[in-house]
Chains A and B, each alone.
Chain A
Amino acid sequence: MNGVTPAPTAEEKTVKYMIMLTGSQRDYDALTGRDTPDSPAWPAEDVAKLHEFMAAWNNDLVESGEFVDARGLAAPVHTRRVQLRDGAPVVTDGPYPETQEVLAGYTIVECDSFDRATEIAARLAYTPHPESASLTSEWYVDVRPIADGAEELA
């Protein structure tokens, strides 16, 4: 706490935020050991460092009591898209181009302020990666408040 935000009162409601991580099929391939043009596979020790970093980040949230839920998604290639064509649903397998950034996973936190959630997400900027790694695009994460009552849908 930086002292600017007043401590929440008992009545004050905490809000849940979703921190969304994105990645492309090419990023998944590099992480699981497949070389693609311009994107070499990550060495095992770099994958280990990444796991260690993510585990520490997650465990900090569990310790502070702000952790709610986290999930990682299977590679984009496993996606099925269902869309209407001429009024009938049509299924397309793996609809994304290799380098398109799509949702890769999310972490839901419950905390006192949007600023706090942003601060948590910003720590991911220091996620370790090998020197050789070429990211598909500029690195980013998105943080979005979860609309009230959304948990009832879970």
Chain B
Amino acid sequence: MTQTEDLLRRLAPQVLGALVRRYGHFDTAEDAVQEALLTAVTRWPAEGVPDNPRGWLITVAARRLTDLLRAEQARQRREETVARRLPPEGWTAPPADQPPTGYDDTLVLLFLCGHPALSAASQIALTLRAVGGLTSVEIARAFLVPEATMTRRISRAKRTIRDSGVPFGLPPAAQRAERLGSVLHVLYLIFNEGYASTAGPALFRADLCAEAIRLTRLLHRLLPDDPEVTGLLALMLLTDARRSARTGLDGTLIPMAEQDRSRWDADQIAEGLGLVAEALPRGGIGPYRIQAAIAALHDEAPSAEQTDWPQIVALYHLLLTLTDNPMVALNHAAAVAMAHGPAAGLDLVDKLGTDSRLADDHRWYAVRAHLLEQAGERAAARAAYEVAADRAMSLPQQRYLRTRAARLDAVPPDEAR
């Protein structure tokens, strides 16, 4: 990211917040801010960054908003709207100089974009555009959908927010915790989308992981005392730190036990560990905090064998009291195998086999195959890897599972029995 871009992306939510606070019209204001950002992208590198970039952007965006609203009003008059709409309060005479309330506004925007009336896909798209300052084209590329589809999705989301009539402000205190939960979930999904995509032949995707981390960092600055916000930021940093060690040249996945740990990002790990240390003693439990603590134990360990598996098992156990997600249960089983031996892990995995949500999932077979391999059951492991490969949809995953199966072919089963 260039310096100008960096500055613009940081200012985007502040400018939008200032505009909506002053004039209302969230949907039109959002368009106006995008246009102001584009103007800045073309003019600042040539003419230099203005002394007060935030004020410059607000002025340009406000002017553009005025034009857009006038055009809209003219259209409405042409459509013979009987009542002549008055410009919104304060529109004709904006306060000369408002103190920057940027940070509060960013928080309000995050809550607005996580509005419960929106689908998860819309929440994500709108958050990236209104708070992240990404263009619709960039967001479309990142999610591999046609630009027209993304533009429509964003317009619909903005209309929904406009029609819902929510005032521009923080949600009432009673709803705030729940709404914060959905904001965190949106950020988590953005991160996951980026992280999952690093496996395949990942083409031209904007770096969603970096964007998710940037936005969560922003949220953490606004709510430094919320342990779940801290936990989510730590989880992202500690997970992303392992990214470059996670795939081989041909895009195949490398399991954590076999990753070259010298390729993990030490700075990111240090920052993540600091955040975990900050979040955990605050008392209470939350899913992001617990997952961050698990990631921290992995990142601290010099090897898979020297990992504190009993502690990881305990944390998964705690996580299972908060969620009945079968993938968490599967991870728990894998950790139990590391702590107490493959037989104990296999027992748990086999029990999960009756869960209909995992019935056809290649991941259940893959974990089972790994544990059978650990137990020295080479033939059964090989068969399980093949079944997992047949059920996997993604090509790199299939390739990984077939390679594991083939490895069991290569060495004759000997002293294992």
A residues with a Cβ closer than 8 A to B are 28, 31-34, 41, 44-45, 47-48, 51, 54-55, 58-59, 62, 67-72, 74-75, 77-78, 108, 151, 154
Contact = CB atoms under 8 A, between A and B. Distances in A.
A54 B395 CA distance: 14
A41 B405 CA distance: 13
A36 B158 CA distance: 52
B389 A32 contact: yes
Nearest to B395: A32
B399 interface: yes
- Classify chain B: how many residues form its interface, as a range: 20 to 34
A126 B157 CA distance: 43
Nearest to B252: A44
A62 B140 CA distance: 12
Nearest to B390: A77
Contacts, number: 66
Report, nearest first, the 9 A-B pairs whose CB atoms are least far apart.
A33-B402, A32-B398, A48-B250, A47-B250, A74-B393, A44-B250, A48-B249, A51-B201, A32-B399
A28 B389 CA distance: 12
Contact of B250 (A51, A55, A70, A75): A51
Given A59-B203, A72-B395, 9 more contacts: A32-B398, A33-B398, A44-B249, A45-B250, A58-B204, A59-B204, A68-B146, A69-B145, A75-B393
B300 interface: no
B146 A151 contact: yes
A25 B147 CA distance: 32
Contact of B146 (A74, A75, A78, A108): A108
Interface string B84-117: 0000000000000000000000000000000000
Given A45-B249, A55-B201, A71-B144, A31 B149 contact: no
25 contacts: A32-B395, A32-B399, A33-B398, A33-B399, A34-B389, A34-B402, A44-B249, A47-B251, A48-B250, A51-B250, A51-B251, A54-B201, A54-B203, A55-B201, A58-B204, A59-B204, A67-B204, A68-B146, A69-B145, A71-B144, A72-B395, A74-B393, A75-B398, A108-B146, A154-B148
B204 A47 contact: no
Nearest to B249: A48
B199 to A, nearest CB: 11
Nearest to A74: B393
Contacts of A55: 201, 203
Given A41-B402, A55-B203, A68 B147 contact: yes
B144 A62 contact: no
A78 B141 contact: no
A62 B147 CA distance: 12
Given A47-B251, A51-B250, A31 B399 contact: yes
Contacts of A154: 146, 148-149
Contacts of B390: 77
Max chain A Cβ within 10 angstroms of own Cβ: one of B146, B149, B248, B393: B146
A13 B270 CA distance: 54
A44 to B, nearest CB: 4
Contacts of A54: 201, 203
B179 to A, nearest CB: 31
Contacts of B406: 33, 41
B135 interface: no
Contacts of B249: 44-45, 48
Nearest to B386: A34
A33 B252 CA distance: 11
A128 to B, nearest CB: 13
B403 interface: yes
Interface string B122-159: 00000000000000000001001111110000000000
B203 A69 contact: no
Contacts of A31: 395, 399
Contacts of B394: 74
A47 B251 CA distance: 8
Contact of B402 (A32, A67, A151): A32
Contacts of B395: 28, 31-32, 72
Contacts of A68: 146-147
A62 B141 contact: yes
B204 to A, nearest CB: 5
A74 B204 CA distance: 21
Given A55-B203, A59-B204, A154-B149, A70 B144 contact: yes
Contacts of A74: 393-394
A34 B395 CA distance: 12
A56 to B, nearest CB: 9
Interface in B222-275: 248-252
Nearest to B406: A33
A78 B252 CA distance: 21
Interface string B337-355: 0000000000000000000
Of B248, B250, B390, most A-chain CB atoms within 10 Å: B250
B158 to A, nearest CB: 19
A69 B146 contact: yes
Contacts of B148: 151, 154
Interface string B355-390: 000000000000000000000000000000000011
